[in-house]
């Protein structure tokens, strides 16, 4: 999937040849750009782009041009990465007034320019209203979704134009790199990282400072690699970071390279993220042209060249050794862990692999100090964490909170609760390696962090957080993840390859109403075995979705097996839909929506579903305003 390229004009570039040039250049830019002048920040992240944000951006530019404003700054309209409140897109923020307009159409552009930019008046129609409230909120910082967050990694995401390095420099990019190049020895950098207690954000949570130290100790050419594979389906934190603030990732990698004497880096991005690839490639080119990456950086003699590689659609390539072998142009099969990548990784050389978010934290740690970072979060899980909050929750988007924040705070205060008055059932974390946490029962006040989530049978993972309501079938969710893993297992070791296949077979049977007594115990046995004896992390966590759902939702498995019922109304063979005549108002919405023409009925008369035609797409169920359709 390609994206149109905003061809950059690079005529302004003049190489910076001394470390002190950066601050001077920044001051010139600040003077030119007048940060307190009005700016319109249009979100062009992947989510908003899918909703037509590029048309909105063009319309805003046109409206500004048509208004013949006496513009003091150029550009007045700026494209940015994800503003993080994706379920409200297409959207924009007007700075410095901090006005947040959402759910916009290109045709709204002229009104925004006339009323707000020229007239200085708010257009209430475009403002956000919290669910269940009539009071619109003007300022972005006062919207609960934003107010309840602590943004470190995401500070510049949605604020800067990711295609113009100057904007990032104005907002402080590369000043941490200057600091390490001029004031810190490689050892001191690693020391600061250790003090920060930053643990890798890719899932395993290994302390970054220790990894850097053990890699730096090795002899030979060192490689610095960034894991932008983000395989967890339903997570987009790393995508948004790469798309919204590419220079934070690049600067973090450059600092890592300096600390371990490396001159070469790679970013491995999954191919489903064309916008991230394009943004990073452009950012690298601009940083090289300015002398902030590449040969002889800022005249200090430090060299660091970075390139972007794309994956080819294999989840297992997110695993470190598989990723490195994929970078070498080969198939990505994990290898045993006793060979450490920090000793013999990419090209059999010492290689340091970290996740996108891990690197993006580094400049902040260097500038503010490791102790500052460690002061956030909890004792064992320091700092903040970005989650992508999706599923059955009102506010879908990216959130960044200190480690140790409770699920209640995340789902209700930030997420705004569950839509359509449904009950919260579970939160899934950690993707296919994670588990489902049953919320209402016990764990609403659990604090997210590496240790806590593992204790209750899930993992923190890289930050995917999927909220599930009462209409989610836990057996089906576990079948879904196991099916995913069957497709993605590299197949080289038997417990993973065969164990997953068998688990999928059993789960499929159960969801079809063909489950048998003993299936649950068999699943537990196979799952425990697969988790114990597989080679890589894919296999050793693969049964978590099954084991955690059996642990907490055993009665749901039993309902499928014994009663041949799917209580949530998901497993198609085990339920049907019925319109309750006493509730149905005959509004006709369901009839209009039904793609299978399975519903008949006269206006104002109770409607009827013809079971033999119904494909159970749930369109009618979701859209009936009167709750007249029942799962039976």
The one-character DSSP state at 65 is H
Q: Is 86 in the site for ligand FES (CB under 6 A)?
A: yes
Quote the crossing angle between the two packed helices 519-533 and 494-511, to the nearest 10°. Answer: 160
Instruction: Report, in Å, the least distance between residue 100 CB and another protein.
Output: 16
Question: How is the chain split among helix, strand and coil, in percent rounded to 5?
Answer: 45, 15, 40
Instruction: Report, in Å, the least distance between residue 68 CB and ligand SF4.
Output: 50
CA angle 233, 235, 237 (to 5 degrees): 150
Q: Which stretch binds ligand FMN (CB under 6 A): 178-186, 224-232, 439-447, 574-582?
A: 224-232
Neighbours of 524 (CB within 10 A): 15
Q: What is the C-alpha separation between 91 and 102, in angstroms, rounded?
A: 4
Choose the one of ligand FES, another protein, ligand FMN, none that binds residue 128, judging by a C-beta under 5 to 8 angstroms depending on kind: none
Q: Are strands 577-579 and 464-469 parallel, antiparallel or unpaired?
A: unpaired
Instruction: Report, in Å, the least distance between residue 276 CB and ligand FES.
Output: 12
Instruction: Report, in Å, the least distance between residue 332 CB and another protein.
Output: 7
Nearer to another protein, 43 or 506 (CB): 43
Instruction: Report, in Å, the least distance between residue 277 CB and ligand FMN.
Output: 15
Choose the one of ligand SF4, ligand FMN, ligand FES, none that binds residue 577, judging by a C-beta under 5 to 8 angstroms depending on kind: ligand SF4
Structure tokens at 482: 């196991």
Longest alpha-carbon distance in the chain: 81
Report residue 537: phi and psi, to 5°: -60, -25
Choose the one of ligand SF4, another protein, ligand FMN, none that binds residue 318, judging by a C-beta under 5 to 8 angstroms depending on kind: ligand FMN
Structure tokens at 593: 């929506």
Nearer to another protein, 184 or 280 (CB): 280
Nearer to ligand FES, 149 or 320 (CB): 149
Choose the one of another protein, ligand FES, ligand SF4, none that binds residue 6, judging by a C-beta under 5 to 8 angstroms depending on kind: none
Q: Are strands 294-297 and 302-310 parallel, antiparallel or unpaired?
A: antiparallel
Structure tokens at 510: 């159960």
Q: Is 384 in the site for ligand FMN (CB under 6 A)?
A: no
Nearer to ligand SF4, 64 or 322 (CB): 322
- Quick one: which H or E segment has residue 31? helix 19-33
Which of 113, 276, 316, 490 forms a contact with ligand FMN (CB under 6 A)? 316
Instruction: Report, in Å, the least distance between residue 211 CB and ligand FMN.
Output: 6
Q: Is 83 in the site for ligand FES (CB under 6 A)?
A: yes
Q: Is 345 in the site for ligand FMN (CB under 6 A)?
A: no
Choose the one of ligand FES, ligand SF4, another protein, none that binds residue 515, judging by a C-beta under 5 to 8 angstroms depending on kind: none
Instruction: Report, in Å, the least distance between residue 514 CB and another protein.
Output: 18
Q: Is 229 in the site for ligand FMN (CB under 6 A)?
A: yes
Give the CA count within 13 Å in the CB-facing half-sphere of 199: 20
Instruction: Report, in Å, the least distance between residue 159 CB and ligand FES.
Output: 12
- Quick one: which H or E segment has residue 295? strand 294-297
Instruction: Report, in Å, the least distance between residue 238 CB and ligand FMN.
Output: 7
Neighbours of 28 (CB within 10 A): 10
DSSP code per residue over 85-135: -GGG-S-EEEETTTEEE-S--GGGHHHIIIIIIIT----GGGSB--TT---
Choose the one of another protein, ligand SF4, ligand FES, none that binds residue 599, judging by a C-beta under 5 to 8 angstroms depending on kind: ligand SF4
Nearer to ligand FMN, 233 or 588 (CB): 233
Chain centroid offset of residue 72 CA: 36
Q: Quick check: 288 and 216 in contact, CB under 8 A?
A: no
What does the binding site for ligand SF4 look like in residue numbers (CB under 6 A)?
316, 334, 489-493, 496-497, 534-536, 538-539, 577, 579, 584-590, 593-594, 596, 598-599, 607, 609, 614-620, 624, 626, 628-629
Choose the one of another protein, ligand FES, ligand SF4, none that binds residue 380, judging by a C-beta under 5 to 8 angstroms depending on kind: none
The candidate with the shortest Cα–Cα distance to 257, out of 217, 223, 214, is 223
Report residue 42: phi and psi, to 5°: -95, 125
Helices (H) and strands (E) in the chain, counts: 24, 18
Q: Three-state secondary structure along 474-501? A: HHHHHHHHHHHHHHHCCCCCHHHHHHHH
Question: Residues 219 to 258: which contact ligand FES by CB under 6 A?
Answer: 233-234
Structure tokens at 422: 């449904």
Question: Residues 520 to 559: which contact ligand FMN by CB under 6 A?
Answer: 536-538
Nearer to ligand SF4, 73 or 596 (CB): 596
Q: What is the C-alpha separation between 93 and 130, in angstroms, rounded?
A: 17
Q: What is the C-alpha separation between 395 and 413, in angstroms, rounded?
A: 10
Choose the one of another protein, ligand FMN, ligand FES, none that binds residue 43, judging by a C-beta under 5 to 8 angstroms depending on kind: ligand FES
What does the binding site for another protein look like in residue numbers (CB under 8 A)?
1-2, 46-47, 49-51, 86-87, 89, 230-236, 239-240, 271-273, 276, 309-315, 326-332, 388, 390-392, 396-397, 428, 431, 464, 466, 468, 472, 477, 480-481, 484, 487, 490, 593, 595, 615-619
Residue 504, preceding peptide bond in cis (omega within 30° of 0): no
Nearer to ligand SF4, 52 or 586 (CB): 586
Q: Quick check: 395 and 84 in contact, CB under 8 A?
A: no
Q: Which stretch binds ligand FMN (CB under 6 A): 228-236, 406-414, 582-590, 592-600?
A: 228-236
Choose the one of ligand FES, another protein, ligand SF4, none that binds residue 231, judging by a C-beta under 5 to 8 angstroms depending on kind: another protein
Q: Quick check: 258 and 216 in contact, CB under 8 A?
A: no
With a CB cutoff of 8 Å and minimum separation 6, the contacts of 451 are 380, 381
Instruction: Report, in Å, the least distance between residue 244 CB and ligand FES.
Output: 9
Residues that bind ligand FES (CB under 6 A): 43, 45-48, 82-86, 89, 91, 233-234, 397
Residues that bind ligand FMN (CB under 6 A): 200-204, 206, 227, 229-231, 316, 318-320, 353-355, 358, 462, 536-538
């Amino acid at each position: 999937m390609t994206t149109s390229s905003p061809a950059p004009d690079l005529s302004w570039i003049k190489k910076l040849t001394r470390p002190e040039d950066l601050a001077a250049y920044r001051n010139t830019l600040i003077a030119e750009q007048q940060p307190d002048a009005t700016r319109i920040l249009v979100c062009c992240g992947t989510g908003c782009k899918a909703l037509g944000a590029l048309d909105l951006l063009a319309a805003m530019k046109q409206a500004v041009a048509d208004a013949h404003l006496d513009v003091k700054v150029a550009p007045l309209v700026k494209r940015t990465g994800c503003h993080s409140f994706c379920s409200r897109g297409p959207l924009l923020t007007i700075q410095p007034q901090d006005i947040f307009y959402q759910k916009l159409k290109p045709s709204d552009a002229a009104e925004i320019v006339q009323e707000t930019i020229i007239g200085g008046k708010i257009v209430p129609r475009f403002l956000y209203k919290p669910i269940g409230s009539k009071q619109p909120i003007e300022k972005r910082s006062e919207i609960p979704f934003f107010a309840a967050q602590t943004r470190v990694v995401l500070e510049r995401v949605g604020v800067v134009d990711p295609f113009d390095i100057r904007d990032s420099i104005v907002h402080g990019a590369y000043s941490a790199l200057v600091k390490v190049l001029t004031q810190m020895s490689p050892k001191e950098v690693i020391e600061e990282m250790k003090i920060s207690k930053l643990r890798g954000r890719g899932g395993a949570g290994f302390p970054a400072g220790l990894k850097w130290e053990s890699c730096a100790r090795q002899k030979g050419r060192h490689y610095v690699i960034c894991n932008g594979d983000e395989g967890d389906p339903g997570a987009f934190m790393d995508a948004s970071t790469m798309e919204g603030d590419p220079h934070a990732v690049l600067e973090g990698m450059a600092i890592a390279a300096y600390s371990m004497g490396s001159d070469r880096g790679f970013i491995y991005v999954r191919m489903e993220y064309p916008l991230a690839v394009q943004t990073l490639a452009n950012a690298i080119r601009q940083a090289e042209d300015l002398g902030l990456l590449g040969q002889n950086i800022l005249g200090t003699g430090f060299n660091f060249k970075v390139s972007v590689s794309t994956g080819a659609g294999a989840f297992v390539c997110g695993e470190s050794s598989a990723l490195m072998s994929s970078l070498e142009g080969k198939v990505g099969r994990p290898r045993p862990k006793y060979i450490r990548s920090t000793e013999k990784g990419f090209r059999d050389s010492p290689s340091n692999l970290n996740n996108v978010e891990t690197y993006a934290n580094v400049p902040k740690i260097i500038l503010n100090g490791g102790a500052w970072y460690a002061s956030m979060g909890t004792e064992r899980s320091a700092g903040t964490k970005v989650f992508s909050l999706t599923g059955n929750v009102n506010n879908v988007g990216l959130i960044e909170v200190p480690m140790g924040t409770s699920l209640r705070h995340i789902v209700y205060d930030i997420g705004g609760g569950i839509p359509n008055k449904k009950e919260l059932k579970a939160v899934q974390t950690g993707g296919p390696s994670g588990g489902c946490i049953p919320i209402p029962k016990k764990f609403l006040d659990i604090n997210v962090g590496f240790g806590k989530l593992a204790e209750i049978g899930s993992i923190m993972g890289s930050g995917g957080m999927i909220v599930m309501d009462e209409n989610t079938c836990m057996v089906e969710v576990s079948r879904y993840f196991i099916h995913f893993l069957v497709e993605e297992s590299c197949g080289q070791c038997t417990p993973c390859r065969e164990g997953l296949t068998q688990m999928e077979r059993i789960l499929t049977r159960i969801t079809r109403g063909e489950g048998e007594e003993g299936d649950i115990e068999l699943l537990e046995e196979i799952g425990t075995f697969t988790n114990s004896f597989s080679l890589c992390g894919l296999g050793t966590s693969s049964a978590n979705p099954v084991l955690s759902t059996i642990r907490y939702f055993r009665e749901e498995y039993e309902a499928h097996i014994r009663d041949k019922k799917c209580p949530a109304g998901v497993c198609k063979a085990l339920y049907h839909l019925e319109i309750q005549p006493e509730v149905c108002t005959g509004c006709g919405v369901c009839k209009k929506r039904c793609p299978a023409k399975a519903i008949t009925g006269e206006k104002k008369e109770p409607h009827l579903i013809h079971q033999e035609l119904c494909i159970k797409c749930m369109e009618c169920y979701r859209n009936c305003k009167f709750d007249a359709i029942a799962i039976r």
